[in-house]
Structure 1
């Protein structure tokens, strides 16, 4: 560290550290790194002031300065950081303030150094535009309110000539547009609503999310039985007796918005309720000039009324898909997280769907192998702690997911967990050739079961429902744009590791790539056995980069 003021201390550290305001900084210094073209490289500079210091200015000196952004790592309360029976691989289990949101640093406000508190800034280097290969010093300079230099920290970034290949993994984080409308107080489908949705989609795509949950009808997800979420239905429905007509103008606009932002796949919202497929999702229609709900919790999923609706709707939807050239881009859903005792209902729903959309892939998060064995779901999405039977049976095109229940041994990204536990997933996805990854919480800003809205800056656990951080990875910015979390940034690094491994495999083969990846491990990597420390992960990525360099020179 280089400090011009004895009362101001700094240290350059990696992106895999979490800096707590109420403890001494343990993180090792991080001075050198490599990165590939088309990569986003991140690291931190931690700082501590001996006395209150306001309006500290940050300046970046580097040939890469135009590609560098600096944000401050904010703190949020975690009242329920983890469940009572958590494993030992967490940073803390106590309630308190945890680092997570990456907040803008304005020139007017600068940074505030609070007495004897370690804080950090997050430095992001965007190499997507391509820069000449070479070594680039990046110097971050801290200046006091009086203009006097307080400290400067330099990291040497070696940019390689090779570029990350395009991401093959299909990745979805469930996108809740009703939460956007609720938080920002805008009408669904107003022009401002579309602008805000567009902003959040841009950020999602920039972080490796290439599939978007598409609300044909209001998604029947995390909704209390008998309750409703705000209507975000993209398909217009008119009802006349037993006949229906459908309008796809909003869905067409959604597709065009996704195309503009680089979304590759459309995850069509579930056509039956969560946890059992026993009911229809909330569907509204215009009947006799009045807009009203025609299906929902009071609808028997196996009844003739809903069956007749689907028999009329699904052929029209398939026609829309084909006329818009989306045949290779859509995935259907039946019901989320059905259990073994739900098989009769799920089977009925699955068979009905298959009659009309048999040519299109269908995915569902479920963890009982029986669903796949019975042919009820062609592409199962088992949880990472229930994936073993699917791996043993070599299920082709296998996906996986995690959520609040995957908190023992396997990778996850709760606010209380070390960032290495977040990032290691990239290596696991590569080793087991996983085709897709799903998570339910890009921006779920309601209490559990969508009972009422919450402020994600104050409530990070969906009102004491899930470990803090599980429901979302972005926070709402004041101007209708998202504030990213450090967890989202680290997850992007995991996906970049996956892409780097894919590149290396194309150069030296899969067997040698796996050997190099697992070098220095005590046991072969699985979903619940893997190195736990940040230093090993950082060294692993450096090995991968050096092998790429030596085979592309």
Structure 2
């Protein structure tokens, strides 16, 4: 730590520390780490000044400079940091300002007197071949990273030096299938652009690339406006990729041009799987989604809340649409990577309506994969959902019965004991899910809130920089992981940490390829009993998690003889 006349102090911290403005960081300083080539590594430099500094400059020097970026950790307000019965593992439970958005450094940053703030340092490591061509690069190299703070006159205030050792192996490609529900309508609403206008397409691409860069490889694809988090009788802005023209009472023509453009854009951005939006309403599959069509030259809604799921009119529509969709999928060569939903979060009380809706789809889509968020094992036993996606606090019965393939998810309901990524939870509780998914062989992860910038039930839009709880409905951090910047997405530290969880899985898969899965598990479970890493029982501190990843990296190096 450096100090200048007791007016400025700095601390080097891991990415798992949340630096609050009103408290000195309690975590121990971290000034070295290890990573693999093609990994994105992050750490922080926290600082506090005893006086206000209007425009402080931050500089970084390192052989890794071409791959390094600096961002300011901003503060977001939270009126609802927790629900009414939080477990003891939360950092805070009071409303206030929480560290979350990562703002690009533009004209310097401000130091507020007496307040702790931090700078987020990201190193997006290149391939092994590129890395070994760097000055000082070799099969395994330690690279210094110097971060310096200067005041308005250019005088040095302080700084830190971090050492990153890069192991002589590349992080392998991600196997886990990962979807974060992508809300195309929220982007159009937030930026004030027309749905699928050229401005909208440009923004969509930027957000999709951000998602892919953070390990999203499956994208929610709105054939019709997704019937998700919508008030009964209400509707979300229309984002419908399928053009529909009704020629007669039950005679339709379909245009797939927008869907074709979407698929091409996604593939170019790195998306491998397509999650076609639900074809029946949420919580029971009782109605058709909103579908608009051109009728007599005018656009109008032809199906929606007024349409019973089993109605003859909707059945005839699907009988015409689905065969054409199948032909499109086959033409695009995405049959193996296409997934379908019936209705989100069904339960036993919805068994009859869900079964009826499922049969309507299976008539044409029997060759495709279906999956569904559900948490009732008894519903799964009915055989209606081949790939269940139980919440991580309801996954144990599915694990005990050896269900495969098996996914998991979490959201607002998973606020006690299990992993989640609310503002008020420690970052270690965000990242631990990577080890949990790997140990238990879970093959997919789903979350509903990549960029949900509405209130609950999509009643009105919100400013995500001011309203972080969907209008008081969900703990801050549940509804979105990116913020709407002027030109595109602004990351959150929660989003960066979740990417680290996915990288932990990939590192373990590399170690497994070298030594086997049992040995890989034994490396990170060192010091723990076998039963001490379930979805509800796990080490809660950042030091253990950082140490586990260090052991994984060292085991990889040893296996490779590095």
Q: TM-score range by the shorter chain?
A: over 0.9
Q: Which runs of 5+ in 2 are unaligned?
A: 133-139
User: In the alignment, what sits opposite 2:178?
Assistant: 171
Q: CA deviation at 1:469?
A: 0.7
User: In the alignment, what sits opposite 1:419?
Assistant: 427
* Worse-matched range after superposition: 2-11 or 410-419: 2-11
Q: CA deviation at 1:373?
A: 1.5
- The equivalent position to 1:210 in structure 2, one of 207, 210, 217, is 217
- 1:470 aligned to 2:468? no
- The equivalent position to 2:110 in structure 1, one of 81, 101, 112, is 112
Retained in 1: the 8 A contact 2:71–2:104?
yes
Retained in 2: the 8 A contact 1:441–1:471?
yes
- 1:82 aligned to 2:49? no
User: In the alignment, what sits opposite 2:124?
Assistant: 126
- Give the TM-score taking structure 1 as reference length: 0.98
- The equivalent position to 1:550 in structure 2, one of 547, 550, 558, is 558
- The equivalent position to 1:378 in structure 2, one of 375, 383, 386, is 386
User: In the alignment, what sits opposite 1:484?
Assistant: 491
- 1:135 aligned to 2:142? yes
- Give the TM-score taking structure 2 as reference length: 0.97
| Matched position secondary structure for 1:3 | coil
- 1:198 aligned to 2:205? yes
Q: CA deviation at 1:392?
A: 1.2
User: In the alignment, what sits opposite 1:222?
Assistant: 229
Q: CA deviation at 1:517?
A: 1.4
Retained in 2: the 8 A contact 1:350–1:377?
no
Retained in 2: the 8 A contact 1:5–1:150?
no
Instruction: State how far apart, in whole Å, the 1-side matches of 2:319 and 2:526 are.
Output: 55
User: In the alignment, what sits opposite 2:331?
Assistant: 323
Aligned length: 550
Q: CA deviation at 1:58?
A: 0.6
- 1:95 aligned to 2:95? yes
Deviations 1:60-87 (A, max 9, x none): 0111111100000000001000101111
Instruction: State how far apart, in whole Å, the 2-side matches of 1:4 and 1:412 are.
Output: 39
| Matched position secondary structure for 1:24 | coil
- 1:493 aligned to 2:500? yes
Instruction: State how far apart, in whole Å, the 1-side matches of 2:361 and 2:102 are.
Output: 42
Q: CA deviation at 1:521?
A: 2.4
User: In the alignment, what sits opposite 2:6?
Assistant: 6
Retained in 1: the 8 A contact 2:347–2:379?
no
Instruction: State how far apart, in whole Å, the 2-side matches of 1:208 and 1:303 are.
Output: 40
Change in 2 beyond 3 A, CA 1:506/1:194: same
Instruction: State how far apart, in whole Å, the 1-side matches of 2:332 and 2:520 are.
Output: 40
Q: Which runs of 5+ in 1 are unaligned?
A: none
Deviations 1:17-44 (A, max 9, x none): 0000011221211011000011000000
| Matched position secondary structure for 1:2 | coil
User: In the alignment, what sits opposite 1:456?
Assistant: 464
User: In the alignment, what sits opposite 2:136?
Assistant: none
Q: CA deviation at 1:371?
A: 2.7
Instruction: State how far apart, in whole Å, the 2-side matches of 1:511 and 1:159 are.
Output: 25
User: In the alignment, what sits opposite 1:29?
Assistant: 29
User: In the alignment, what sits opposite 1:48?
Assistant: 48
Deviations 1:71-121 (A, max 9, x none): 000000010001011111110000000000000111x2x111111100000
Q: CA deviation at 1:6?
A: 2.5
Q: CA deviation at 1:129?
A: 3.9
Q: CA deviation at 1:333?
A: 0.5
Superposed, which structure 2 residues align to 1:148-547 within 5 Å? 148-240=155-247, 241-479=249-487, 481-521=488-528, 523-547=531-555
Q: CA deviation at 1:372?
A: 2.1
Q: CA deviation at 1:54?
A: 1.5
Instruction: State how far apart, in whole Å, the 1-side matches of 2:5 and 2:148 are.
Output: 12
Instruction: State how far apart, in whole Å, the 2-side matches of 1:83 and 1:246 are.
Output: 45
Instruction: State how far apart, in whole Å, the 1-side matches of 2:438 and 2:124 are.
Output: 24
Instruction: State how far apart, in whole Å, the 2-side matches of 1:250 and 1:346 are.
Output: 29
Instruction: State how far apart, in whole Å, the 1-side matches of 2:392 and 2:275 are.
Output: 20
| Matched position secondary structure for 2:74 | strand
Retained in 2: the 8 A contact 1:521–1:530?
no
* Worse-matched range after superposition: 438-447 or 380-389: 380-389
Q: CA deviation at 1:427?
A: 0.2
Retained in 2: the 8 A contact 1:238–1:286?
yes
Instruction: State how far apart, in whole Å, the 2-side matches of 1:521 and 1:424 are.
Output: 14
Instruction: State how far apart, in whole Å, the 2-side matches of 1:370 and 1:304 are.
Output: 30
Deviations 1:261-303 (A, max 9, x none): 0100000000000000000000000111111000000000011
Retained in 2: the 8 A contact 1:235–1:250?
yes
Q: CA deviation at 1:396?
A: 1.1
Q: CA deviation at 1:2?
A: 2.3
Tell me the C-alpha RMSD between the 2 structures.
0.9
Instruction: State how far apart, in whole Å, the 1-side matches of 2:142 and 2:408 are.
Output: 38
Retained in 1: the 8 A contact 2:17–2:25?
no
Q: CA deviation at 1:353?
A: 1.1
Instruction: State how far apart, in whole Å, the 2-side matches of 1:397 and 1:164 are.
Output: 24
Runs of 4 or more above 6 Å deviation = none
Deviations 1:306-340 (A, max 9, x none): 11111111111001000111111100000001121
Q: CA deviation at 1:369?
A: 1.5
Q: CA deviation at 1:389?
A: 1.3
